């Protein structure tokens, strides 16, 4: 099987296709919705620095480790661990990933549903001429309704399931290749508009000027969680995608390109949002609704705002879709390969059960918002537990597995494509995944949940 995949397994066809699919997974609501709102709640500049440090020191090595596991084993996340570590409990890491996929998709599809609602609103020209107060009302009214957000969420899950059912290669590669670059162009146009608003400098200061007094254990953990969430790492998405990558692809450069693209989009989104936040007098820590309140206001003040709003929400929905596909694929690959279901049955079962949990996440931001645990509603519990606890824990176990269990020989064999590529940074990579990344994750994690007090 050297030089190619088993003929029966679906795979990505071209080098750009792989990057597009992995970038399609990484780039999504995490960059455009979650990054600005989490950065806004955690003080801006200082959060950004931590986030960037985590991307480069921990994120890229974790991503390379996931791709290594998946391509070596040629299986879903659970099956990969089982195959590479027979008779050992490492498959539990894959299992935790499947659970995390359920949780992430349940709340992610809530916000993905919002993007459809906002796409609908832009088609009907609902933003132009409205004041900040009116646009906030539009958002509040939508959330308070008990059925519209759920209906959009279900439509989104249906779309996701429909594409996943068609299979990875046909479904995913095709869309991302054209649409991701287009999204980038629209965000840059938004940046220019935001930067020419009055007081926009205050927004840039907020985003880029670190105020180290704002760094607390919570902020550090939020930055780590956001880095993992945004890169789609820590739960087996990239193990699964890695298993579809051909043997001649350079995994290291794929991981670096994808991480750079992802980080770039997050920062550009921040540059669109925060200047506008300050120009319109909104609080940067306004929470989950931040971009949905700020951006329509920006559109209503742009020449051609109608068309830009429409394009933006269309592309944001697509970006969300290429991410939800990658999360659902983790579950579907597990169901079909491990539990021996047909792909169709696996997709239906996974989508329906996730949608069921998801509706409660959606309602917990509206009609059910008074039901809380530790001061968090159901949506926030899913988001916090998956991003800040399960992903870092998964990432820790993944690097330990690759660094200590697989070991240098197998890892360099895989990363070098059986010796075809030179690996000048192999020593550093091994050092990071054996020592730096696991220790750093463990410290941030224990400190963040209060087991350690630095
Ligand atoms: N990274 C995606 C985003 O930023 C979301 C996502 C896709 C994800 N797959 C994931 C997050 C796996 C965590 C784990 O929108």
pLDDT in tens, 231-271: 999 999 999 999 988 888 999 999 999 999 999 999 999 99
Q: Return the percentage of the chain with pLDDT > 90, whole number.
A: 77
Per DSSP, the residues of 329-358 read HHHHHHHHHHS---HHHHHHHHHHHHHHHH
pLDDT at 170: 64
Paired tokens of 171: 């479904």
Residue given tokens 């806004």 in the structure block: 40
Cα 359 from chain centroid?
Answer: 20
Give the confidence band of 1 by pLDDT, cuts at 50, 70, 90. very low
Regarding predicted confidence, which is higher, 128 or 79? 79
How large is the average pLDDT for residues 80-104? 97
Number of the ligand 1 atom closest to the C-alpha atom of 319: 15
Contacts 24+ apart (CB under 8 A), 250-255: 250/417, 250/421, 251/64, 251/67, 251/68, 251/71, 251/414, 251/415, 252/64, 252/415, 252/423, 252/425, 252/429, 254/18, 254/19, 254/22, 254/67, 255/60, 255/63, 255/64, 255/67
pLDDT at 70 over 90: yes
Answer whether residue 7 shows pLDDT above 50: no
What was the pLDDT predicted at 239? Answer: 96
Residue 317 predicted with pLDDT over 70: yes
Average per-residue pLDDT for the chain: 92
- Asked if 76 contacts 327 with a C-beta cutoff of 8 angstroms, the reply is no
pLDDT of residue 9: 66
Which phi-psi region, left, alpha or beta, contains residue 233 (left: φ > 0; alpha: ψ -120 to 50)? beta
Q: What is the dihedral of CA 447, 255, 184, 390, to 10 degrees?
A: -30
Residues whose beta carbon lies within 6 Å of some atom of ligand 1: 25-26, 28-31, 104, 229-230, 232, 235, 237, 323, 326-327, 391
pLDDT score, position 101: 97
Residue with tokens 């998405």: 237
Closest residue CA from atom 2 of ligand 1: 26
- Express each pLDDT in 130-144 by its tens digit: 999 999 999 999 998
| pLDDT at position 84 | 97
As given in the structure block, the two tokens for residue 72 are 């070596």
Which position has the token pair 């008779």?
87
SS3 183: helix
Distance (Å) from CA 118 to ligand 1 centroid: 21
Confidence of residue 8 (pLDDT cuts 50, 70, 90): low
> 145-190: per-residue pLDDT in tens?
879 999 999 999 999 999 888 876 665 677 677 778 888 999 999 9
Helix (H), strand (E) at residue 198: none
pLDDT of 449 reads 84
Tell me, in angstroms, the distance from the centre of ligand 1 to residue 237's CA: 8
Q: How far is the CA of 229 from the centre of ligand 1 (A)?
A: 5
- Which atom in ligand 1 lies closest to the alpha carbon of residue 233? 14
pLDDT of residue 146: 77
pTM for the model stands at 0.93
Q: Give yes or no for residue 2 having a pLDDT over 60.
A: no
The pLDDT value recorded for residue 53 is 97
Residues 218-232: pLDDT tens digits?
Answer: 999 999 999 999 999
Distances (CA, A) of 348 to 328, 351, 356: 11, 5, 12
- pLDDT(429) > 70: yes
CA 325 to ligand 1 centroid distance, Å? 10
Beta-carbon count within 10 A of 399 CB = 24
pLDDT at position 142: 94
The pLDDT score that the predictor gives to residue 296 is 94
């Amino acid at each position: 099987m050297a030089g190619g995949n088993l003929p029966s397994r679906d795979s990505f066809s071209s080098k750009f296709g792989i990057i597009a699919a992995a970038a399609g997974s990484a780039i999504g609501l995490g960059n455009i919705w979650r990054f600005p709102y989490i950065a806004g709640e955690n003080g801006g500049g200082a959060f950004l620095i931590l986030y960037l440090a985590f991307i480069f020191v921990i994120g890229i090595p974790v991503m390379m480790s996931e791709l290594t596991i998946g391509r070596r084993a040629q299986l879903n996340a659970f099956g990969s661990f089982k195959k590479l570590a027979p008779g050992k409990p490492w498959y539990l890491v894959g299992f935790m990933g499947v659970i995390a996929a359920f949780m992430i998709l349940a709340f992610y599809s809530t916000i993905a549903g919002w993007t459809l609602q906002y796409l609908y609103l832009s088609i009907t020209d609902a933003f132009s001429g409205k004041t900040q107060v009116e646009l906030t009302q539009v958002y509040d009214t939508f959330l308070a309704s008990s059925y519209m957000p759920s209906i959009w969420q279900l439509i989104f899950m249906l779309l996701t399931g429909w594409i996943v059912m068609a299979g990875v290669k046909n479904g995913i590669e095709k869309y991302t290749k054209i649409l991701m670059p287009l999204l980038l162009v629209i965000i840059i146009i938004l940046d220019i508009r935001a930067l020419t608003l009055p007081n926009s400098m205050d927004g840039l200061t907020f985003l880029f000027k670190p105020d180290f007094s704002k760094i607390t254990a919570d902020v550090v953990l939020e930055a780590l969680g956001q880095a993992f969430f945004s890169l789609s790492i820590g739960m087996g998405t990239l193990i699964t995608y890695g298993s579809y990558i051909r043997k001649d692809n350079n995994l290291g450069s794929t991981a670096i390109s994808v991480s750079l693209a992802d980080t770039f989009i997050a920062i550009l989104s921040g540059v669109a949002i925060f200047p506008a936040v300050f120009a319109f007098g909104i609080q940067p820590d306004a929470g989950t609704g931040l971009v949905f309140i700020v951006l329509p206001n920006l559109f209503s003040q742009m020449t051609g705002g109608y068309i830009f709003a429409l394009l933006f929400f269309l592309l944001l929905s697509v970006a969300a879709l290429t991410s939800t596909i990658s999360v659902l694929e983790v579950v579907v690959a597990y169901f079909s390969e491990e539990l021996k279901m047909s792909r169709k049955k696996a997709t239906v079962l996974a989508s329906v059960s996730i949608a069921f949990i998801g509706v409660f996440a959606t309602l917990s931001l509206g009609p059910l918002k008074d039901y809380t645990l530790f001061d968090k509603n159901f949506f926030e519990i899913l988001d916090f537990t998956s991003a800040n606890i399960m992903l870092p824990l998964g990432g820790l176990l993944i690097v330990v597995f690759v660094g200590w269990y697989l070991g240098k020989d197998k890892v360099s064999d895989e990363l070098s494509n059986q010796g075809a590529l030179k690996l000048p940074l192999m020593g550093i990579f091994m050092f990071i995944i054996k020592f730096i990344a696991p220790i750093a994750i463990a410290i941030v994690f224990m400190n963040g949940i209060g087991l350690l007090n630095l």
